[in-house]
Structure 1
């Protein structure tokens, strides 16, 4: 895993240019693991806007995923749904052509982190989950097993769409 002190973060890119700020955001995330009250809370707001901007991902996105998954695995209290949702969204974007190739120095750690998402979901199975957490956990499980199409569906579901599906409204 690319150390947060590694100078190569400055060579990686995110939505706004060089990813020199990502290590500090990941450090901040270590102390902000609890569920958030809204999408504009930091550091998640900056992580999402930098690493998965309007559905596009970047080289820094791949380097950040192992850190995000590791923090989720080490946290023993309830976590925010973005710990599952952001890695799943990054992989969906990558696999659907909305991102560059994974840098060679990040590839093994990135794939290992994705594969471990199922286990990390299991570590948090006894936490209280709202619908967003459930859908995010399901998307993470799907990504961990290589089912990117299912993960994309989980990431796009909301209460209105679930209700339409349950009523078999497919117009």
Structure 2
């Protein structure tokens, strides 16, 4: 997949929530140098900055479309490392960007020059999600991996629903699968 280089000054034209996308390229360079970084919302980490800049308050920005191929490539490059904790954000952030792009009218149009790499990356979420799912039985990994699989198949609306499920929703769905359609009926 041909994607915009992280040193290309064109990042300035692909805006994030705060303006120029140059800071997004810096964050991606930091992840490329140390892909196992983790972080929480608001802690100033690279991941916190990327989420804030690319998917702020339910909106996405042009820089997100340029960033997704890099995130998927970095994530795919490390998911096979069975000895390290792989940040779930490599899967979650690209899936969320595509969900917002397909389900809201406010999302910016995908620029032609970014489209091929972006669509290739969204398609590659399939393999990345499977890689995550094979590594962990954690419920959050299952939720995000399921959403990413749906996104890779073009079903952003269902993916958004899956991301919103809480543990009770998942337990009810599991019980439904065990008991069948009669579950909950008198």
Q: Indicate whether the TM-score tops 0.5.
A: yes
Q: Which moved more, 1:143-152 or 1:61-70?
A: 143-152
Residue 86 (str. 1) matches residue 93 (str. 2): yes
- Encode CA deviations 1:22-61: one digit per residue, 9 max, x unaligned: 1110111224444746334521100000000111001000
Larger Rg: 2
- 3-state SS of the aligned residue for 1:4? coil
Structure 1 segments of 4 or more deviating over 6 A?
A: none
The corresponding residue for 2:180 is: none
What is the correspondence of 1:8-157 to structure 2 with a 5 Å cutoff?
8-34=10-36, 36=38, 38-41=40-43, 42-75=45-78, 76-77=80-81, 78-96=85-103, 97-157=105-165
**RMSD across aligned positions (CA):** 2.2
Q: Structure 2: how far apart are the matches of 1:162 and 1:123?
A: 21
- Encode CA deviations 1:1-42: one digit per residue, 9 max, x unaligned: 000011110011111111110111011122444474633452
Are the equivalent residues in 2 in contact too, given 1:55–1:98 (CA < 8 A)?
no
Structure 1: unaligned runs, 5 residues or longer: none
Structure 2: unaligned runs, 5 residues or longer: 177-182
Q: Structure 1: how far apart are the matches of 2:137 and 2:24?
A: 28
Are the equivalent residues in 1 in contact too, given 2:36–2:86 (CA < 8 A)?
yes
Going by fraction, where is strand more abundant, 1 or 2? 1
1:145: Cα distance to partner? Answer: 0.6
1:160: Cα distance to partner? Answer: 4.1
Query: Bigger relative contact order, structure 1 or 2, given CA contacts below 8 A and separation 6+?
Result: 1
Normalised by the length of structure 2, the TM-score is 0.81
Q: Structure 2: how far apart are the matches of 1:52 and 1:81?
A: 16
Q: Structure 1: how far apart are the matches of 2:53 and 2:39?
A: 20
Q: Structure 1: how far apart are the matches of 2:158 and 2:66?
A: 24
Residue 158 (str. 1) matches residue 166 (str. 2): yes
Aligned pair count reads: 169
Normalised by the length of structure 1, the TM-score is 0.88
